[in-house]
């Protein structure tokens, strides 16, 4: 039974080409869904079946993310905004998935969250705040303090990577455009994430 949803971008400029690649055995990758820029949704793998979209990484105590998650590939190169029709389709798709599997919005994560330092998708152009306003993801407020590293692990960033790598992944999602060393806003955001949405222990 899936209890995570992982969002990706295809890093390709053609949704059909990405879809076809994901259906090719030699690709050795797959996903449950592909969402085109025009809002077209293709289901490639049944939600009850495992897809090979996550690769190496972890979220909280989960080290085999593929076996616990539904993967959604969103057609985008990573450098352009996500189209309105596409975001509408992502929202409708997520709403159904979360309802069917009783997945809470804090279990919707980016590929960059579970594989920091290795993956950056869905990237800084993806509108996570829009999803949060619809109750399909989460968005923190900069309230709190404490150890950035400890709070990051409590929230779910448990990959064995340096603090600056976790910082980069957190900023991609929750503070796009921020640069420079760890600061008080980063610490406050992570403290709020850890307090409001601590990752499940199992």
Domain of 69, CATH number, reads 3.40.80.10
61 and 108 belong to one structural domain: yes
- Indicate which residues carry an active-site annotation: 73
Question: What is the domain range of residue 157?
Answer: 148-196
72 and 152 belong to one structural domain: no
What is the number of structural domains in the chain? Answer: 2
| 52 pLDDT higher than 90 | no
| 201 pLDDT higher than 70 | no
Residue 138 is assigned to a structural domain of this protein = no
| Distance from C-alpha of 168 to C-alpha of 148, rounded to nearest angstrom | 12
Residue 141 is assigned to a structural domain of this protein = no
115 and 159 belong to one structural domain: no
Q: Are 18 and 76 in contact (CB under 8 A)?
A: no
Q: Are strands 69-74 and 33-35 parallel, antiparallel or unpaired?
A: parallel
125 and 162 belong to one structural domain: no
77-132: per-residue pLDDT in tens?
999 999 999 999 999 999 999 999 999 999 999 999 999 999 999 999 999 999 99
157 and 113 belong to one structural domain: no
What is the arithmetic mean of pLDDT over 15-23? 84
- CB proximity list for 202: less than 8 A, separation 6 or greater: 61
Residue 143 is assigned to a structural domain of this protein = no
- Encode 61-76: b = buried (16+ Cβ within 10 Å), e = exposed: ebeebbebbbbbbbbb
């Amino acid at each position: 039974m899936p209890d995570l949803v992982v969002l990706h971008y295809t890093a390709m400029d053609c949704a059909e080409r990405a879809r076809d690649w994901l259906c090719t055995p030699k690709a050795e990758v797959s996903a449950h869904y592909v969402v085109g820029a025009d809002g077209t949704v293709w289901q490639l793998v049944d939600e009850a079946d495992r897809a090979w979209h996550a690769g190496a990484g972890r979220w909280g105590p989960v080290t085999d993310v593929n076996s616990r998650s539904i993967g959604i590939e969103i057609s985008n190169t990573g450098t352009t905004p996500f189209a309105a029709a596409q975001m509408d389709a992502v929202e409708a798709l997520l709403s159904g998935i979360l309802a069917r599997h009783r997945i809470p919005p804090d279990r919707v994560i980016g590929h960059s969250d579970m594989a920091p330092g290795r993956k950056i998708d869905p990237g800084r152009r993806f509108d996570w705040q829009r999803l949060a306003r619809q109750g399909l993801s989460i968005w923190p407020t900069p309230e709190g303090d404490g150890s950035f590293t400890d709070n990051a692990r409590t929230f779910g960033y448990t990959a064995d990577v340096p603090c600056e790598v976790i910082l980069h992944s957190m900023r991609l999602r929750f503070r796009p455009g921020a640069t420079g060393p760890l600061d008080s806003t980063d610490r406050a955001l992570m403290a709020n994430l850890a307090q409001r949405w601590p990752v499940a222990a199992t």
